[in-house]
A and B are shown apart, each in its own frame.
Chain A
Amino acid sequence: MNNVNITIDGLAITARSGMTVLQAALANGLYIPNLCNHPDLAPAGLCRVCVVKVDNKKIAISCKLPVQDGMAISTEDPEVMQIRKSSVELLVAYHPLTCLTCEKDNDCELQRVAHYVGVTQEGMKRYRRSVRTIPKDTSNPFFDIDHSKCIMCGICIRTCDELQNINAIDYAQRGVSCIVATLGNKPIAQSRCESCGECVVRCPVGALAVKTAQAPMREVSSICTYCGVGCGLFLGVRGDRIVSVRGDRNNPVNKGSLCVKGRFGYDFVNHPDRLKTPWVKKDGKLVEASWDEALDLIADNFSKSKGDGFATLASARMTNEDNYLLQKFTRSVMETNTIDHCARL
């Protein structure tokens, strides 16, 4: 693909043709403030914060503007700064200032952008402030929706549409009443949402927040135990407790995506009901046993059941390699071809 040369605030950079100005800037380590942009999604151009001036003439939004050779981009033009600042100040004017107790504190794009464009307490005094009073939607077991914090960037809607193809949410109503809503504006738990949480991790503010989120003390790179896909993830740990999970964007299998089980289903690890030793039925009653005792019992029984009296049902939670071994064992040791797998449809 051809490269093109452009300048941003006088700095010469090279970009691949087909890139947008915003992509080119970010790829070259230059920050242009933005809110509704996400690298996984098609640009929407709604927040108007990434506005720039092209060739000292035209105002354009950099997230939708394709690079062209010789283009001169200004991000510090007075008109650009005015539009950008107004947009951010407007968002702040209608956003709750409860940053300290917000889950996204320090990880909030609105904070970052407000800081960058120079939103000050003095400047905000000029505005009429108010915050939406729509009650929180707490119907989902894993995350909450707080409309008062929503900046209507549409990232959640586009994630659900472009990445997940679920389309559980969309815009509803008009003007200032415009909200992100499910069909019929029902609680999210009554919608077709599959709770994958992909929108939650992309939400630039605290409008979508994991219910039980705790910042981890350390993170451990791991593979999801749920199925044979083998998604890469980071388990956030405090002491010996898992307190968070996030997808590994560098993992070639899932590129950061996770499903509801992988992202939110880690309770079982520390659950008191979890089986930690084998149980064996003695005199019609299940009792705890040692591994040796259990395996001996299995080996005894297997030895007596070779041939067509035997079948295996493999689990999707095992790796491909484990499943291979199981069928090998079934065919050559147990001498039968009666093999099935729970993911076979």
Chain B
Amino acid sequence: MTFTQLQEDARQEWNALRNDNNPQIMIGTATCGRSAGAMAVVKAFEQELEQKGITAHITEVGCIGPCYAEPLVNIAKPGKPTISYRNVTPSMVTEITDAYLVGEDPLAHYTLGTFGDGKIEGVSRVLDTPSFKPQERRVFRNCGVIDPTNINHYIANQGYEGLNKALTMTQEEVVDIMKRSGLRGRGGGGFPAGRKWEAGLKAKGTPKYVVCNADEGDPGAFMDRAVIEGDPHSVIEGMIIAGYTIGSQTGYIYVRAEYPLAIKRLEMAIAQAHEKGLLGKNILGTDFCFDINIFPGAGAFVCGESTALTLSIEGKRGMPRVAPRPRTTEIGLYDKPTLLNNVKTFASAPMIIVKGAEWFASVGTEKSTGTAIFALTGKVNNCGLIEVPMGITLRQIIYDIGGGVSDGGEFKAVQTGGPSGGCLPESLLDTPIDYDSLDEAGSIMGSGGMVVLDEKTCMVDVARYFLDFTEIESCGQCVPCRLGTKQLLEILKDICKGRGKEGDHELLYELSHSVHGGSVCGLGQTAANPVLTTLRYFKSEYDAHIYDKCCPAKVCKSLISYVILEDKCKGCTLCAKSCPVNAISGEKKQVHVIDQSLCVQCGVCMEKCPNKFSAVDCVSPRVKTEVS
């Protein structure tokens, strides 16, 4: 079957669904949607439709990003824009069905907004909201829109057009278009993708391999999962184009075993692509043959490092190779030339081929073109996955897209780049997001994690938290990373416990630089970033911990005390009754007292004290207790 025929069939199926006279219900059932309860919503809709005898199509789609609104249900009625319902629970299903599926009331208070042409009274257009307006959906173009388990949905939306076009081009022409697009590796390193593809093409030796790094290990980063679960064919198409370009016949997707749904989606997509002649022998009737294997990772963070990843596929212990070493494009998997890119890099390739390098470079900055995907989390109103043009500022992301700091809190810092990234203060909020600016500020683009921290966050504690992760995930082969992260963590723990001492500052600084300069791989080289950036921008907090034994954010338990304010306590006894260690004494209607020698700083007393009294206060440094 020719590609034109494939496209026609697919479009027919897609248009039939679009133009159907029955409503279409699209429910986001990626892992994020499922954990928010989407599967129960699917079931509730199925039952509701059956009970009421309503004909409508239920389609399970991927994720469009806004975690704060999950589970999301999009309802498209003929001739009307699609309405997106947010935070849908099974108990809301009947109401939505009666009001909008049967009737015409859109239930505006339940909606996130509308998608598509047309307007519905009282409901705003999603893409016009401050949260979506600055976004540019390119890698996420199909996520939440198409059924990821149906290859025809993908093909009908320009899917595999890039492959079809690439097969008519020479390998050099593909490299050229990739180079001109300015696409940089989306795994975090930011190496120009076109140059890597060129190196792959020029590398001598057979066989050559194409490897997709889907070992997304950063805590809080889940964009690769969202792309795979919502649009698996985009990744597969990108890999096939890459295979054609460098002259490879075999691809591997190294995907976390902790992503079972992503693996399932990939398996299904690969089988479908085979069926359509888009994968396997003589792709689209050409001489080009390519196949893809899925390799589930065993759970080591360091296996996201390219050389450790290829060793892991070989069945060896995943430890980064020590530099100086040849590039993976020369000696990679099974010591053969290997092109290794991230999920998002491959997913970007098809549209670059279809729409052109200039189109891709039309957004972003000169040196960082295209869009970036972030997982915006922490103390921010609208958390979730966002795709924005490179060059947008941190301020726009946090205040416009993110809707500002949650619970009316005050912004303190933003942590970018995952556990190896850095914490940037308010003064750097106008930093444009691109590889080089973030690097200059002491952080990294990394995997795209972005955690907003408010004034209730202790920066020493944040550094400790991230070092706790890198210390465990270090592979252990080189001294600076294995022992340096351990020592840094022990010092930070001590500081948080009030055991910080003169000279800790200097030692932290010294060790951080040595770990950065002396480690074998990217994990170690960036592991100290949380320490270095917090030391650089929040030094006064370290000083307060070390010299005054004070935690200004009142987070470090060893440095805080809870006290009952005499003038406010009315002796309601609530605190005393809820104290888990019986540290609070006092008669009814008498002022209560906390025995500091028994208190474990759990804070329950403060929570329980009625707002009208607010008689419990948290202080740091600690209240001095009499030694009996």
Contacts and interface: CB of A to CB of B under 8 A. Distances in A.
Report if A and B associate in a common complex: yes
A86 B324 contact: no
B514 A86 contact: yes
Interface size class of A (residues with CB under 8 A): 35 or more
Given A127-B507, A128-B491, A176-B471, A65 B477 contact: no
Interface string B7-41: 00000000000000000000000000000000000
Nearest to B484: A90
B142 interface: no
Contacts of B442: none
A175 B491 CA distance: 17
Contact of B483 (A59, A60, A79, A90): A90
A183 interface: no
A126 interface: yes
Nearest to B472: A175
Interface string B475-490: 1111110111111001
A178 B476 contact: yes
Given A46-B477, A171-B319, A86 B472 contact: no
B322 A152 contact: no
Nearest to A172: B317
A27 to B, nearest CB: 20
A128 B493 CA distance: 11
Contacts of A79: 517
Contact of A87 (B300, B472, B514): B514
Contacts of A94: 483, 486
Contacts of A170: 317
Interface in A298-328: none
B522 to A, nearest CB: 15
A208 interface: no
A90 B322 CA distance: 20
A57 to B, nearest CB: 13
B513 interface: yes
B473 A174 contact: yes
B371 interface: no
A90 B480 contact: yes
B417 to A, nearest CB: 20
Contacts of B476: 152, 171, 173-178
Contacts of B486: 94, 175-176
B535 to A, nearest CB: 16
A227 interface: no
B494 interface: yes
A237 interface: no
A93 B480 contact: no
B479 A126 contact: no
Interface stretch (A47-55, A194-202, A259-267, A333-341): A47-55
B205 interface: no
A206 interface: no
Given A48-B479, A83-B480, A174-B472, A90 B317 contact: no
A222 to B, nearest CB: 39
Interface centre among B319, B473, B487 (most CB of A within 10 A): B487
B518 A87 contact: yes
A186 to B, nearest CB: 18
A177 to B, nearest CB: 7
B474 interface: yes
A86 B473 contact: no
B410 interface: no
A251 to B, nearest CB: 33
Interface residues of B, number: 39
B503 interface: yes
A229 interface: no
Nearest to A94: B483
A130 B472 CA distance: 17
B507 to A, nearest CB: 5
A47 B474 CA distance: 15
A91 B510 contact: no
Given A87-B518, A174-B300, A152 B477 contact: yes
B586 to A, nearest CB: 41
Given A64-B323, A82-B513, A178 B477 contact: yes
Contacts of B319: 171
A9 B43 CA distance: 74
A154 interface: yes
Contacts of B504: 126
A4 interface: no
A3 to B, nearest CB: 21
Contacts of B322: 44-46, 61, 64
Contacts of A48: 478-480, 518-520
Contacts of A175: 471-476, 482, 485-486
Contact of A47 (B300, B479, B513): B479
B511 interface: yes
B474 A64 contact: no
B499 to A, nearest CB: 9
Interface string A59-86: 1110011100000000000010011011
B490 A128 contact: yes
A79 B517 CA distance: 8
Contacts of A49: 479
Contacts of A126: 503-504, 506-507
Contacts of A46: 322, 477-479, 520
Interface in B452-478: 471-478
A82 B483 contact: no
Contacts of B517: 59, 79, 82-83
Interface centre among B322, B477, B490, B507 (most CB of A within 10 A): B477
B518 A86 contact: yes
Nearest to B490: A128
Given A45-B322, A175-B473, A152 B480 contact: no
Contacts of A44: 322
B324 A65 contact: yes
Nearest to A88: B479
Interface string A116-131: 0000000000111010
A59 B473 CA distance: 25
A91 B479 contact: yes
B520 A45 contact: yes
B469 to A, nearest CB: 10
B323 to A, nearest CB: 7
B510 A82 contact: yes
A209 B507 CA distance: 34
Nearest to A92: B483
Contact of A91 (B477, B483, B494): B483
A170 B480 CA distance: 20
Contacts of B507: 126-127
A194 B551 CA distance: 57
Contact of B514 (A61, A83, A154, A176): A83
Contact of A171 (B317, B474, B518, B520): B317
Interface centre among B480, B484, B485, B491 (most CB of A within 10 A): B480
Nearest to A153: B479
A25 B408 CA distance: 63
19 contacts: A47-B479, A48-B479, A49-B479, A51-B518, A64-B322, A79-B517, A86-B480, A86-B514, A94-B486, A130-B490, A154-B477, A171-B319, A174-B300, A175-B471, A175-B472, A175-B475, A175-B476, A175-B482, A178-B477
Interface of B: 300, 302, 317, 319, 322-324, 471-480, 482-487, 490-491, 494, 503-504, 506-507, 510-511, 513-515, 517-520
Closest 7 A-B residue pairs measured CB to CB? A178-B476, A86-B514, A45-B322, A90-B483, A128-B490, A83-B518, A175-B474
Given A48-B520, A152-B477, A171-B317, 7 more contacts: A64-B322, A64-B324, A87-B480, A90-B487, A130-B490, A151-B479, A176-B474
